[in-house]
Structure 1
Amino acid sequence: MTNKVKPQWAELLKDSPFDQPHFSETIKSKIRQKTKIKNKGKLRIAIILLAAAALSSIFLYLFIVDNEKMTEPIDERNAYYDRGELLLQVFPEPDLQAGSPTGYVFNFSEPFTIYQGKELFIRAIHINTGQQVVAVPTVKITEPSSGYKSLERFTANFALPLGGLWRFEVELDGHYYGDVILSVKDPLWELSSEFKSASYMLRGKDQNVGFIDPGFIAGKINKYMWHLWDNNRDLNGEFTVKAVKKGDDHMIEVFSGSNLGGSLNDADRSIPSSMSLPIAGVWRLLPMVGGRLVDSIVIEVNE
């Protein structure tokens, strides 16, 4: 068997078609640089994605923990301890109920020197809605409770607008001191009666608070003259009226005025107002002075 002689063009194909090597060192260097850039870009994207995933996991964890804290049950407690030491106890009247003034005894356990000369303030916060009222307006402590060495029997009388759990926060000179949580029964929803003062009929609570009542029609503004009796309490401060509808726990503001005026119709203080309620039904009016609820008045709003 003889070897075939390859044609001349086959021999020519052995040679490179380029005058110089196609992959010169310059070209190879550029290719390496582009490859490194692409790899760095991919690495950067991977790092960003991993960081985003980590942050998402952290936020998800915090959200779950926060939700768990928010859903933790809040229990009633009438005492406050700091580092195992009892600082405060609160004793309300039996059958504590919203809607009317109730008596409370605040028992402070520390020596009187802790409280002497300081300003005491107590606010009440409705746990379910976060709505607040002033329980005890700012008072300067100058002497111990009568018959005691300290503030073992600091008494207060105030009303709460809603039933449910309430947190009572105590401040001394504007700083948090302690708190307790009390359960308050829902208020009664019987319509408030009228009583006579001088020659006028007022709806409300005799010798406490009332207004001349021309009636209420849903969505219609009308004028109402308020009358209040001081009963040895401070009636200085802005007068406001809030309202809550039966079956709801959201308070709305229906009137905000200035300070109360002088005596009228045998009442110690008075103020005119314009009020309107948006929906027909049974409502509770909540007259307040300086953020402190005076009492409550149940009325019916007609269509």
Structure 2
Amino acid sequence: MRFKGLDLNLLGVLETLMATRSVSRTAEQLNLSQPAISSALKRLRRYFGDEILVAHGKRMLPTAFAESLLPQVHESLRAVEGLIATSTRFDPATSQRNFRLCSSDYISTAVLAPLSRELAHEAPSVRLELLLTDDQSAHHLEQGGIDLLIAPEGYTARELPAEHLLDERHVVVGWKDNPLLAGSLDEAAFMGADHVQVAIGYQRTPAFGDRELGLQGRQLRVAARASSFAVVPWLLVQTERLALMHERLALVMAALHPLAIREIPFDFPVMREMMQCHPARAADPGLAWLRERLHRQTVIHKSK
């Protein structure tokens, strides 16, 4: 399909070329041959009168003009996707849709895993591709690289609307034979203990619980730091360490590991978990179904 002389299929190739900066990797991602991608790049260069990508040693670097085009290309492709999705009927019982969801391992374990088990019967050909949040998650959502971002309020893409999914309490977890947890836990014992923290992504962004402790002016003695909540139980067992954990996740983990759960011995805010999709996909009936199904899943959990 052409618009003002431009084959619109080339925009998808351009977006992938800019992401991979490689003809061969673009060919792999788009399931096309390298000669086909090389030909597409030549056509892009001819149409725009710019080199688009320039060889630099073994790498290809985008020109300044190509960098300036990229936001418009992203926006155009997302708008087209939204148009197609709006006009497409979605039937979960027969759909073969693949949804890319980005969330913490807490949400993946406590919410998405139970949902996936139920969808195996309700929507057997629908696939959930679960990606862990990192420093670039909000950027990937803005660029259309993921369908749905689930993250705490304050960790979402700032420029995009977000809807409330659930409220989550935090609790203290530790080894079941930890003497600090033999009875009720007081604030002095909590603050005097060694702790396991979770830091997210390359920039080591503190998880919600640790961020809130910092805002309260509470400085913990950190004995170990993990990049995933799934690792935390392994760093607690057979030690006197403590950790903050989401209540839903703590209950799942305590069923699998020898852990004890206690209340936080001081006032602590409830975490508001949000979900976001790109506005261009807001009318997508498939995403609308998935968001509604996620809301229903949290209600089911709450009633248990």
Q: Name the TM-score, length of structure 1 as normaliser.
A: 0.24
Higher share in helix: 2
Q: Which has the higher contact order (CA 8 A, sep 6+)?
A: 2
Q: Which has the higher strand share?
A: 1
Larger radius of gyration: 1
